[in-house]
Each structure stands twice: as C-alpha cells, then as structure tokens.
Structure 1
Amino acid sequence: MATTMSWEDKKRFVRRLAGGGRGFADRYGFRVTNNPASLFQLLYLSILLRRPGDPRRAAQTAQALRDQGWESAARMSRSAQETRAATLRSCGRRDADELAGRLGDLAALVTERYRGDLRRLRGVAKYDAVRERAALKRLPAVDDEVVDLFFREVQALWREVPPSADRRALTAARRLGLGRSADDLAALAGSRESEKLAWLVGALAIVDLDDRYQQIAA
C-alpha cells in the first residue's frame, strides 16, 4: 500500500511517526542507555525477538528475566539454568531448556571476555561497526539478525553504527512508500547520527507488528 508523497510530505510524515521520542525497546520498558546493564538487556531482548513467536511475548519474556534480577551479564551468569528455564516456561517458551542454556552461556562469556560490559567489546573492536558485528556474532545465540535488532537500538548511542533497520521496519517503510533501505530512512530522519532514526525505525517496526497501515494512512 505504498503511498505517493512528495519529499517534504515524507519528512513531515516521519517526524510525526518518530515524534514520540521512543524506539522499539523503550516502548517495551527497556531504556536505551550506554551502561553495561542496559546494553546487556538490549542484547538478550534482541535474541528473544529474533526467535519465532510473537514479539510482544518476546518483550514480556525479557521483562520477566529482568524482573528476576538478571539485568546484568554477571547476575545472569550466577543464576541456575533450571531457574532460568522455569522463568522461560512460565512465559510460554517451548524451547525453555535450550534457551536457558544459551542465555547462560551468553552471560558467562560476556562476563568473562568483557567483564560484563559490551562497551568493552566496542572498544576492542576499535569503534568499527564491522568488527563489532563480527565480535557480537561470536557470542552464543547471536547471528546477523540479532545484531540487526541490537544495532537498531544502539545506533542512537554508538555513532559508528551505520543507519540500521530491521526486517519489520523495512517492510513498513516499503509499504508506506518511505523507501527500501536504512539509508533511505536516515535521509528522511534528517541525520545519520541521530537518535531520531532509531525512533523512526522503532515506530515503523511497531506499525508492522500491530498492522496499523490503514490507521497510519488515514
């Protein structure tokens, strides 16, 4: 349902979409701040969003993990696998045992390799997004799609991350006639180095998730 709009109309449209000043993670209660706990939560939220199932339930599962006190890599690494699995099962995860193991491995490796702080990963990668992607993919349960979801959020903080948009956001952008790439969206947002792009991409992802195309077009 691509719409025909002038460039200025598109810019006004994306300003309205991003006007809430919140990205996808923030809308689900995960603050996007450059501290170790926040970054680790964004990473495991991205892993949960990557897995099959309802993204809302994935966000609720991430909230449940955080509510158990596992807001940091160090704390999650000290938790028992069965306790993690029980929490995941209570959220309806059929893969609870396997996922609990993967999250435990993730937390342990982030704690061991980066002292629980993904900012150290960034430093080791010399603030280069390609190296950051490669380093993240060496962590358990992290693949390119997880990195895309993580970068979608942290591009507001990590200025070296290129304009990043996940599959849902790009689907919405295409259907709304706003472009086909993260670069297209960055041009409309007005800056490659602004949290405005993260807000826009998050808003578009939610439009697709909630199937709000008719409402938005109206």
Structure 2
Amino acid sequence: MATTATTSVEERKRLVRRLVGRSRGFAEEYGLQVTNNPASLFQVLCLSILLRRSPDVRRAVEPVLALRSQGWGSPARMARSQPEARAGLLRDHGRRGDADRLADTLGDLAVALVERYQGDLRRLRAGARYAPARERTMLRELPGVDAEVVELFLREVQALWSETPPVADRDALIAARKLGLGRTAADLAVLAGGGESEKLAWLVGALARIEVENTYDEIAR
C-alpha cells in the first residue's frame, strides 16, 4: 500500500508523540513484561527466536505465553522440561511444522544459559563488560540466536541495557522510512529525545507493530 511520508520536523515530532503515547514497546503490547530479571529476559529472547522464524506475530507470541504458563518461563525450568512435552505444547499453540526442531532449540538455549551464565542473561552482559559489540557476539554464540534474533532482543531490552541503544530492527526501520521518520536507529533516537530514553524503545516497538500488522491506514487516520 502507498503511504504518505511525514515531511516537516513538527509533523514528525507530533507523529512520534502519538506513537509513543500508545505503546510501551513491542513485547509488552502482546503480554510479555520486559524487566531486567532472568526470567523476563529469557522470555524475550525466546520471543525473538520465534519472531525470527514467523511472519505471523501471533504464532510467535502465543507459544511463549504458553511456555510461561506451563512453568517453563525460566532457563532452569525450561532445561528440566522434556523435549516431547515442549514440542506438544508448541504444536497445540500453532507451531505444527517446526515444533520438534523449535522444542530442541529452546531446550538447548536454556541448557546453555544455565551452564554458561547460571540462567541469567545479566551475567552475559557483565561478562561482555557492558560493551555492545561483545554482547552481540556472546548472544550469537547461544543456540538458536543469529544476528537478526540479537537485534529483535536488543530492540526490546535497550531501555534496560543502557549501553545498547539506539537499536531498531528491520521492521521498525521499514515503518520509519514509510512514515518519513528516518532511515536509521540514530534518526529515531533524535526524534525520541536521545538514545538512552525509554521512549526510543517504545517508538521502535510501535513502528515494528505497524509494519508487522500493516496498520498504516490506522496511523493515517
């Protein structure tokens, strides 16, 4: 569909205020709290892996919520679960074609986090000495995590991991270009009032939702 790019600085700022005012980030809009504790960070990483594999956001979110409801919302508990049980739950929540492979990936991820970081991604961050490039490298060393998963994860936690902003994933940048808000994460950071502002995370999350849900017409209204 065609979109009308926002042109003037004031128009861009007004649109940013609208987007930030209606969003608290991508994951939280779908029922996952983003807080700096081990279980929350693990769930966001699992969501990022599923989003990487599915263009349908509901098919990514529902299995993560189901895994949490089953009591497997932390690395230690996920690591103790059985692959067949994980696969069955994933199939029940829409992941039929890749349930077995995904169940193995999430199990391997949980085990790796327990063995390397005592189940706490904050230890990975500390081990990287809070250097964003090193954090990205260490995240990519985890099972199921590639460069795109890393960007999806950091998109969500950048308000908490203050060294990482500005981060904007592919979907957010597509929406930003279509709406005339810029072409880079740095462009969005300027509009949000700075890279360390949590408004940046909210703005990026809102833009990503607009792209994946194709709600440009709603924004135009």
Give TM class, smaller chain: over 0.9
1:20-99 residue pairs with structure 2 within 5 A? Answer: 20-93=22-95, 94-99=97-102
Q: Separation in 1 of the partners of 2:9 and 2:94? A: 44
The residue number in structure 2 matching 1:162 is 165
1:1-218 residue pairs with structure 2 within 5 A? Answer: 1-93=3-95, 94-218=97-221
- C-alpha contact 1:163 1:197 (8 A) present in aligned 2: yes
Cα drift, residue 166 of structure 1: 1.1
Cα drift, residue 21 of structure 1: 4.6
- Secondary structure of 2:180's counterpart equals coil
Q: Separation in 2 of the partners of 1:130 and 1:24? A: 23
- Amino acid in structure 2 at the alignment position of 1:165: A
Cα drift, residue 2 of structure 1: 3.9
Between 109-118 and 19-28, the greater mean CA deviation after superposition: 19-28
Deviations, residues 80-128 of structure 1 (Å, cap 9, x unaligned) = 0000000111112111111111110000010110000000000000000
- Secondary structure of 1:177's counterpart equals coil
Cα drift, residue 153 of structure 1: 0.5
Gaps of 5+ in 1: none
- C-alpha contact 2:25 2:203 (8 A) present in aligned 1: yes
- Secondary structure of 2:67's counterpart equals helix
Q: Separation in 1 of the partners of 2:64 and 2:48? A: 9
- Secondary structure of 2:189's counterpart equals helix
Q: Separation in 2 of the partners of 1:138 and 1:130? A: 13
**How many residues are aligned here?**
218
- C-alpha contact 1:32 1:154 (8 A) present in aligned 2: yes
- C-alpha contact 1:21 1:196 (8 A) present in aligned 2: no
Deviations, residues 41-95 of structure 1 (Å, cap 9, x unaligned) = 0000100100034112111111111111111000000000000000111112111
- Amino acid in structure 1 at the alignment position of 2:165: P
Gaps of 5+ in 2: none
- Amino acid in structure 1 at the alignment position of 2:58: R
- C-alpha contact 1:2 1:174 (8 A) present in aligned 2: no
Q: Separation in 2 of the partners of 1:57 and 1:95? A: 12
Q: Separation in 2 of the partners of 1:113 and 1:49? A: 24
- Amino acid in structure 2 at the alignment position of 1:207: I
TM-score by length of 1: 0.97
- Secondary structure of 2:145's counterpart equals coil
Regions of 4+ moved over 3 Å: none
TM-score by length of 2: 0.96
- Amino acid in structure 2 at the alignment position of 1:158: W
Cα drift, residue 11 of structure 1: 1.1
